[in-house]
Amino acid sequence: MSTPRPELRIGDRERDLVASVLQDALAEGRITLEELDARLDGTLAARTYADLDALVADLPVEPPSSALTSPRAGVDARLSTAPGTSPDDPLVLDAGWSSATRSGRWDVPPFLLLNGALGTVKLDCLEATPLAPVVDVEISGGMGHITIVLPDDWAANADRVTNAWGMSSVKVGSRPGAGAPLLLLHGSVGWGWLTVRHANRFDRRRVEKRALGRDERPGLTR
């Protein structure tokens, strides 16, 4: 164990590591979903190692001030430059009067903003790679339709989404599988419509066709 330095300032890498520890604690039944929400808020607000130490003091892990010495697997230099690395710079999908879609193979950053406006937004995560164990998703429904499609082991919590005059349908669980992320949704549906679901038959066929197309390209093998 390295010498604890609780007074040192932290960055996004350290916050992401603690978020991973907290998600594991939820999956193990050590904390409740409400406790996870509160502690994730504390993780985002943390400024020093001492702040992080307090969030995991009752869990069977080393204090972050002495244990956080290497990045979590899967989180690399992409997080330092790509949109979505902080609440102040989320990855934005804005439908405007038309549509906005993210699908295929792509990296899901820790922070997203989905704006339905007067169109449609589709966030297809079936072939995506999460860069953090918890993904903060702000919903701004407007009068549009926002659809989020998740793999079977991914989860979402929409307790902080208000409906106003719109409608929301969340058909996925709130506890992710081992190693899978949790999407924490907040914001307002407005006059629009929010759907969070797993893949249907059409989605699965489309993924299979994309995979087949990649396999058939010259120079590519299974």
Distance of alpha carbon 180 from alpha carbon 151, whole angstroms: 9
Is the domain of 57 the same as that of 92? no
The pLDDT assigned to 137 comes to 97
Whether 220 maps to a domain, the answer reads: no
Q: Please tell me the predicted confidence (pLDDT) of residue 1.
A: 41
Count of domains observed in the chain: 2
Quote the pLDDT of residue 162.
94
Extract the residue ranges of the chain whose pLDDT is less than 50: 1-2, 69-80, 217, 219-222
Is 18 within the bounds of a domain? yes
195 shares its domain with 99: yes
Query: Would residue 216 count as lying in a domain?
Result: no
DSSP notation for 85-129: SBTTB-EEEE-TTSEEEE-SS-EE-SEEEEE-TTSEEEEE-TT-E
C-alpha–C-alpha distance, residues 106 and 130, integer Å: 9
pTM to 2 decimals? 0.65
What is the per-residue pLDDT for 205? Answer: 85
Q: What is the pLDDT of residue 215?
A: 57
108 and 190 share a domain?
yes
Q: What is the pLDDT at residue 139?
A: 97
Task: Give the residue numbers spanning the domain of 189.
Answer: 83-209
